[in-house]
Structure 1
Amino acid sequence: MRRARLTFAVAAAALLAVACGGDDGGDDTAAPAGTATTEPADDAPSGTVTVLAAASLTESFETLSDQLADQYPDLEIVYSFGPSSGLVEQVLAGAPADVLATADTKTMDEAVAGGVVDGEPSVFARNTLALAVPAGNPGGVTGLADLANPDLRIAICEPQVPCGGAAQRLLDAAGVTAAPDTLTTDVKEAASLVALGEADAALIYLTDAAAEGDAVETVDVPESDSVVNDYPVAVLTDAPNPDGAQAVLDAITGEPGQSILGEAGFLSP
């Protein structure tokens, strides 16, 4: 559970200009400078909003919290990042939360079928896969066919996880039967294995490859354009803070969320 605390004190400042009377003994007068104060609106959301979000959204959503701090100084966003399938299981089991954001529509559909989603989920971003290798490409990986090489250390997400489902669709499209050494619980784990040089290659989201910086390189995979995951978000039926949840959802689907996601490499919905 990562916390992004957004409680800031709003300082009200006023300048007081004092004008002194002349030799005639006139009374002193005070002239306020008229400096405007910044106060949150009376109906601004407040309290805590718990957001369950796919692991691939970690960096973008944490940046979003920073952006929302000034707009909603009394709102605290608490994140729980992880595999979408696991997050949905938590919600269906009754875990208290306000917002759910998953990395594919399949997992969100399970939440909808379970009656835990309020209204219609909104797709707010899309993502594609990348064939990631450590810096310098020590395994000499040139394409998807190398994922079948038993001499290479290969990491792929578990099939029930959105990145794993997308990986299987991509491999099927390329006619490749992969021989993974590691099946990871989420995309961040796979990306970390590559960045640390503990895997020669992995299929991860393009945004997660970018988030690893210079530690990870990508190998061009033309077939990846045919496999795209939609990311939906929704307010949960039993949200403890529905007003705050709606404010966060609006920020994700509008601004500043869309700009932040675009800068991270996500595709527009």
Structure 2
Amino acid sequence: MTRDARRPRRTLQMAGAAAAALLALSACSSSDDPSSTSDSSASSSAKLSGTVTVFAAASLKESFHTLGKEFEKEHPGTKVVFSFAGSDTLAASITGGAPADVFAAASPKTMAIVTDKKDAATTPATFVRNQLEIATLPGNPDKVASLKDLTKSGLKVVLCDKTVPCGAAAQKALDASSLKLTPVSYEEDVKSALNKVVLKEADAAVVYKTDVKAAGDKVEGVEFPESAKAINDYPIALLKDAPNATAAKAFIELVKSAEGQKVLTAAGFLQP
């Protein structure tokens, strides 16, 4: 009787000791396993740093400056440096070997200059679209109300060069309307075209809605229906051999995020 009564107690004691040993072992393995600790700490402590160089279409200047500041605020230790120009000029620089991390073009055609040379590391993604508008002098003294009005004799009109997305889009709109327009000059990018009106060196220019909005009261915008037939998609891509690929990817994600889209649509861009 006494012997039988002791057996269960001894069994329970042994089971309890085994369980305690097992718990101790598992605690050891979870806290002392260098791979699990380093993996979790690495992912939680990973920080972006360094400079991100972005080549972007001139029409993105105001929006991207805002996003660049936001990126630097979210990731202390980073700096976003921009080069703004006509997309064709930027594409030529990239294929010529200029070091950059990101390319944001104002048309798929100019992005293709880069992708055809295998200089993009990711497939370009359309992140916004843009539509044309006529910029006139404040108060619209020449009473420009349509694209056809730009063909009036004596009216000084400027266009972007046909190799630049805004120039190609303007020509597309003119062709769709069977209109012929002889500008006083072709400008290298959309900001240069707009500046001609701001400086009163031209009476009107065909630019993007975003540029008219950015200029504020320095110009007056005139919409025209033909612009709907010449809307430009804006693609963005990580570049091959990007000096700071990790941070560059994060910047692209910001541009495509809800936060980035809010900034871009506030500037007048259309959703992709």
Q: What is the TM-score of this pair, normalised by structure 2?
A: 0.82
Q: In the alignment, what sits opposite 1:67?
A: 70
Determine the C-alpha separation between the residues in 1 that align with 2:208 and 2:222.
13
SS of equivalent to 1:257: helix
Structure with the bigger percentage of helix: 2
Unpaired runs of 5+ in structure 1? 1-40
What displacement does 1:139 show? Answer: 2.2
Q: CA deviation at 1:258?
A: 0.8
Which among 174, 177, 181 is matched to residue 178 of structure 1?
181
RMSD, aligned α-carbons: 1.3
Of 117, 120, 128, which aligns to 1:117? 120
- Alignment partner of 2:234: what SS? strand
Match of 1:44 in 2: 47
The number of aligned residues is 230
Counterpart position of 1:216: 219
Structure showing greater radius of gyration is 2
- Work out the CA distance in 2 between the residues paired with 1:247 and 1:253: 10
Quote how far apart the aligned CAs of 1:255 are: 3.7
Q: Name 2:155's counterpart in structure 1.
A: 152
**Corresponding residue to 2:240 among 232, 237, 249:** 237
Tell me the CA shift for residue 233 of structure 1: 0.3
Which residue of 97, 100, 105 maps to 1:102? Answer: 105
Partner AA of 1:245 in structure 2: A
SS of equivalent residue, structure 1 residue 120: coil
Distance 2:150 2:186 in 1: 13
CA shift, 1:138, in A, is: 2.1
In structure 2, the gaps of 5 or more residues are 1-43
TM-aligned CA deviation for residue 42 of structure 1: 2.3
Misfit runs of 4+, over 3 Å: none
Tell me the distance in 1 between the aligned counterparts of 2:79 and 2:72.
Answer: 8
* CA offset digits 1:150-204 (Å, max 9, x no partner): 3011100000000000000011111110110010000001111112222111100
Instruction: Please report how far the alpha carbon of residue 79 of structure 1 lies from its aligned counterpart in structure 2 after TM superposition.
Output: 0.3
- 1:69 & 1:42 partners in 2: Cα distance? 17
Kept in 2: contact 1:150–1:179 (CA 8 A)? no
> Higher strand share goes to which structure?
1
Equivalent-residue separation in structure 2 for 1:222 and 1:262 (angstroms): 20
Distance in structure 2 (CA, Å) of the matches to 1:219 and 1:52: 29
Note if 1:143 corresponds to 2:143.
no
Deviations 1:125-161 (A, max 9, x none): 0000001101011222221112222301110000000
2:113 match: secondary structure: helix
Alpha-carbon distance, 1:256 to partner: 2.3
